[in-house]
Structure 1
């Protein structure tokens, strides 16, 4: 809530689900920061971290103490997410030893398995039918896993892959160039009919680069050998201080696609055999992508934490 940045201006509406394969329905709304708008066109992977624990704590789902799984139906995309976390004294456990870069402290581990995440909005893993497209003379990969995303090499735009969020904001023309590419990609992906009607939240656009030793927002140094690739994501027109989970999901899949611009900058020697380790503004994130025998994306798994920080009442006309 608030904060003047897109990653903190979000609403999740959660209720009972009538589906046999889900316990709760979850609708995500991105709240405009620079524009007075509410955008329901996308999902938010980071916010899904809180949905399972909220459902248990709010009494929407009854679970015994111990490990539990809450099946979440995201109404924005029609996709199913399995949220696994511990329950203690009839509430989601908060304390734990699991840490996430960019988040202060530690907490109980939440495993999120996004089931059949490809084609969330377009119905296709590669909405344009191509592994590589060209917009504004820049090579990009358009992919729809978790959310529709457009990936471009940072070097194609004349910037370093480890550029920090404030430097992206201060750059004279980087954000407008990225938005131009994003809007053209949206039309090519079938998300919008015109450049003017492209929603603010999708497709996501992000710059990727091969890893190298550089500083994070915190001032700490991340070593070249600690991650498999770098990403700098834009969310609703603003540089993300970490990486949206849905962007990370799409990256994990794109890193395995021969010819994709993401594959071109991904290390051939993974840091962790369980997936791709993504370097972002605030640290690293491990994402695992699993494929079936036909090569289709079976599921994508990430690990997060979540905790309740306040309760209140919202009045709306």
Structure 2
């Protein structure tokens, strides 16, 4: 079964013409060429972080729950954000953490699952001079295809032959619960099968966690539910300023800092996702916390500050930490 554009839109509660997304397939396909490798490296304390761009995906502003056209126009006024015919482009990022010669990858991109404008993370990793066999830990913020698709090679085997897979146990249970699967529309069940296929090669080296557990040296999980039941962030102790990888707390840098109550249809629990986002904005602003995320404008590193009734994101300079 193929999870088509139409069935994905139905799962999201959208009309067929509302959202331009690539077709997703539940099986493994021949990998398209994908985008050229893009990466950015910076240092914090004794840690080197490499931001890896998987590609871009257009999302129309109108799909956000709570969307108001006048408010969106006001938010974007005077900015560099310009929508194309399909919407505002959002990036898909992954992050490589290197400390004392050990490599941890946080999210894996899409690989072959989401079309030729995505799937560049592996090429970016290679351009950084790191072989997939060098990575000993893969942390997943959640098991959506733009985060877990890169776990699997085109032949269906594990892309990271020596890596332990670390994922929240609630997240794992949600995607592997046959009762949950049976409760969704039949033509949307391919989304679940795609999630299961992505993680299947790692079943014998799975490291589940719950709550605020240490998941790798210097990395502590932080529950951030709402987008998915087990959606998680990871706080990195760098020996200098801490850095939070917050996954999909934000999908649109352009819109959601100013409008944190706006949610995206792929949030499983939209009110909880908005609550989590507001709480993280409050915490990040109050603590002057460095954050990065999988859909923040690449390379995604910066700080949150209060701006009127909402918030704003101050992106770090490209050469940060070098």
TM-score range, shorter chain: under 0.3
| Higher relative strand content | 1
TM-score of the aligned structures, taking structure 1 as reference length: 0.28
TM-score of the aligned structures, taking structure 2 as reference length: 0.28
| Higher relative helix content | 2
